[in-house]
Structure 1
């Protein structure tokens, strides 16, 4: 995969403004939006096998995006920073970056199934100079690349301070509805970022350990950015059922919880940290329905928290999976409306800090219910829809996603892209396959490759 190349011919990037004139105004982001750790751009891919002979996907998507920007006009603006690092959008209608491109290959060159990490990522999502800046820069970049087979890739990167996974899907659904000819949206966008602003006066009620750095005395948690490896792992019904057998029968757990408990433990062992090093698992918890009343359905700002499960390496590595599972469940249950207000208050009182970014931290976002795998732009559902890779963010190697996926046998499950130092990745593969082998009685116990499905 590392030598995988093909040529992409790109038209000059252009600024795509809203299809109609939009209000000129300034809109403040919420105090959840503008925390330092969200000041980066997230890359995502939507891959469609056949565009047919009737409509050009580039033109259809370009027109639909321009229409969607009329309702979502803040995306066409630029971020400015006020006193106290408060972010505000100047809604000036300048537009997003749009790139039309053609590839001299068929989609089958990627192999099957299509999944991250994608080779030639920079060709399919070109980083126009300045496009990943946070202030005074476009808030979104879209590149649509046609392939010789008639398929195409809709690649997107967006400024995370503007929206979370659910928020960007609201925008993409608007694009899909306009592409189908709709003149109005089924779920109109809602700004109302004040709903997640700090109180006056701020009053922090929780410890918020997600914003603490916990480094070992040896400072061995710095990430070797020149030695990172990307691999993807598939967990289908058989693997998930096997992992459930690792916990007591009476213990209830969601698929997210049991998978996270196992991955956190195996990743920790793989990193070979000091036994007394503190490691943390931070899970993305959507708070929209935790408010009373819930946040409006069209709210597209960041509406999540990432509470912390904390343990020493020794305890996490030596205890049964039920230990890490309990810690994760306790962390998730801590998120309430009051918790979200406390996070916003914490931001204002502490200079909008970054969350923990040492490699001893592991952040997971579950996007299996986002709907990206069903987004129909006029050519049916994509063969892949989701993040372009794991390890995204200001500091690579600490984050991952749970992405809906169908393997070569047609089994629906979850694909997990991970980014780790090369040596740690080798250990992780042995640990997770050994864990599965211990309950599946696999003849390849400890050396199986049934869940490792891609590497780059």
Structure 2
């Protein structure tokens, strides 16, 4: 197997192409209740483009500079304010970090176009395709956004984006990258007018905040690819339709039910112990977020059942449980009893917790930087 070598140029700073959008004085903005739990969290996504773009690195860097005119808070820094000791964003048009890189092989050679159980083979390579490893932690004062473009010998390229989760959730980042792609293609303005601080956004209830924050770093985890055949998913969807008065289930609900049951069967030691399924839900439509809002607006929904119930349940019944949890997203104030159970689980049986986050339909797969949409999206 060929050794893949990624050669990186020294990092450069990128600022908004127009200084007119930068505040003349340092502006400090508070984080929303949705932002606060993620102020020290980093997320990395990879967009694999199979078709070439002329001078991909410089094209992307220029478009990034144009996009920052409209999304200048990405140039801010996370700081701890003296008055309340909480994290705030300080905006004065600092910069974001950009790296141009090249690989000594094709995308196919690097197995970046394969979606299979062999994804673990690319773990080390993925770390090389981003400015920061996903396992690295964020420190106050670090850039909120880091971007790397790695060009391969086949003229394809990988866009690796690492960002502080406190500035945007995945939906917000997808909106930002769509703007970068549009500007790279020659559009004069992004198609969506961005809004970062939205006074109309409702606050997240405090008891949910306790569940959102990760109790400890997750850098001991490994990457692994698991494929669920589409034929199995379609069979489950048909079965659910036939047994639920023509009600349909989504692909996420079918996949979540399968993973929850299979994992519980694999790890169960005490049939009476509680098994928890936890997943993120986009709350924009429930919290009154404006069109174009790109800050955080997600909450964590939970499904709790005894392990033996999950192991023995009919898959249709598990999907119904997941659906009920999703329906509760519009009524978060009714969940305090469930939250008390989950806080107890967090201390005693955290290993029984399965956390899922679906990137399907977020928008990462729709970006075009001039050569077509990505062949693959990874995180």
Scaled by the length of structure 1, what TM-score is found? 0.70
CA distance in 2, matches of 1:129, 1:374: 23
CA distance in 2, matches of 1:4, 1:76: 38
1:110 maps to what in 2? Answer: 110
- SS across alignment from 2:225: strand
Question: Match for 1:283 among 279, 285, 305?
Answer: 279
1:130–1:88 CA distance, 2 compared to 1 (3 A): farther
Cα drift, residue 211 of structure 1: 5.9
2:289 maps to what in 1? Answer: 295
- SS across alignment from 2:146: strand
1:264 maps to what in 2? Answer: 260
1:63 maps to what in 2? Answer: 62
Conserved in 2, the CA contact under 8 Å of 1:31 and 1:196?
no
The 5-angstrom pairing of residues 6-45 of structure 1 reads 6-21=4-19, 22-23=22-23, 24-35=26-37, 39-45=40-46
The 5-angstrom pairing of residues 306-385 of structure 1 reads 306-336=300-330, 339=332, 358-385=350-377
1:246–1:272 CA distance, 2 compared to 1 (3 A): farther
Conserved in 1, the CA contact under 8 Å of 2:11 and 2:97?
yes
Conserved in 1, the CA contact under 8 Å of 2:37 and 2:209?
no
Cα drift, residue 85 of structure 1: 5.3
CA distance in 2, matches of 1:373, 1:308: 27
Cα drift, residue 247 of structure 1: 4.4
Cα drift, residue 356 of structure 1: 5.0
Question: Match for 1:225 among 220, 223, 232?
Answer: 220
The 5-angstrom pairing of residues 401-420 of structure 1 reads none
The superposition leaves residues 293-314 of structure 1 with CA deviations (integer Å, 9 ceiling, x where unpaired) of x411110011111111001211
1:420 maps to what in 2? Answer: none
The superposition leaves residues 343-390 of structure 1 with CA deviations (integer Å, 9 ceiling, x where unpaired) of 9xxxxxxxxx9x9593322222222212211211001111112x33xx
CA distance in 2, matches of 1:158, 1:195: 25
- SS across alignment from 2:276: strand
CA distance in 2, matches of 1:239, 1:130: 33
- SS across alignment from 1:307: strand
Conserved in 1, the CA contact under 8 Å of 2:211 and 2:300?
yes
Uncovered stretches (5+) of structure 1, i.e. residues with no partner: 215-221, 344-352, 389-456
CA distance in 1, matches of 2:214, 2:184: 45
Indicate whether 1:166 and 2:209 are aligned. no
1:108–1:284 CA distance, 2 compared to 1 (3 A): same
- SS across alignment from 1:335: helix
Conserved in 2, the CA contact under 8 Å of 1:11 and 1:101?
yes
1:34–1:193 CA distance, 2 compared to 1 (3 A): farther
Uncovered stretches (5+) of structure 2, i.e. residues with no partner: 337-342
Conserved in 1, the CA contact under 8 Å of 2:42 and 2:134?
no
Indicate whether 1:124 and 2:120 are aligned. no
CA distance in 1, matches of 2:199, 2:28: 13
Cα drift, residue 223 of structure 1: 8.6
CA distance in 2, matches of 1:297, 1:180: 23
1:141 maps to what in 2? Answer: 146
CA distance in 1, matches of 2:305, 2:295: 31
CA distance in 2, matches of 1:279, 1:128: 31
- SS across alignment from 1:284: strand
Cα drift, residue 283 of structure 1: 1.9
Worse-superposed segment, 178-187 or 301-310? 178-187
Conserved in 2, the CA contact under 8 Å of 1:198 and 1:341?
no
Question: How many residues were matched structurally?
Answer: 358
CA distance in 2, matches of 1:127, 1:85: 27
Cα drift, residue 213 of structure 1: 10
Cα drift, residue 209 of structure 1: 8.3
The superposition leaves residues 76-122 of structure 1 with CA deviations (integer Å, 9 ceiling, x where unpaired) of 11001236553211112221111111111111103474345534112
The 5-angstrom pairing of residues 70-81 of structure 1 reads 70-81=69-80
- SS across alignment from 1:191: coil
1:178 maps to what in 2? Answer: 183
1:131–1:177 CA distance, 2 compared to 1 (3 A): farther
Indicate whether 1:305 and 2:310 are aligned. no
Scaled by the length of structure 2, what TM-score is found? 0.84
Cα drift, residue 66 of structure 1: 0.9
Say what the alpha-carbon RMSD is for the aligned residues. Answer: 3.4
2:340 maps to what in 1? Answer: none
1:371–1:340 CA distance, 2 compared to 1 (3 A): farther
